[in-house]
Amino acid sequence: MATLTERTEEDKIECVGPYRSIQIRTATVIERDGTEISRSFHRHVLQPSTKTDDTWADTDISGESAEVQAICNAVWSDSVKTAYQTMIDAQEV
């Protein structure tokens, strides 16, 4: 009888644009007896800051992989966060 296995892997992590948006692509891989038979993708994007009720906070990255956390911590400087917040606030006028 064939053995089916499923695994997920972050197969692409990109840092994009002046506000250092982090794009993560997660692949779900299905294998039969060690041979890949299916692969599907899910993507999500992280921004350096989030705004709730007119209050800015750093984006919570605690649920992300260690690799994604390291990238976010490396590229989301205070100046990047401030520039992102300023850009979003200017759009709300």
For residue 69, CA distances in Å to 8, 26, 59, 89 come to 18, 15, 11, 25
Point out the residues of the chain with pLDDT beneath 50.
Answer: none
pLDDT attached to residue 93: 63
pTM score, whole prediction: 0.87
Do residues 38 and 7 make contact, with C-beta atoms less than 8 angstroms apart? no
Q: What confidence score (pLDDT) does residue 58 get?
A: 96
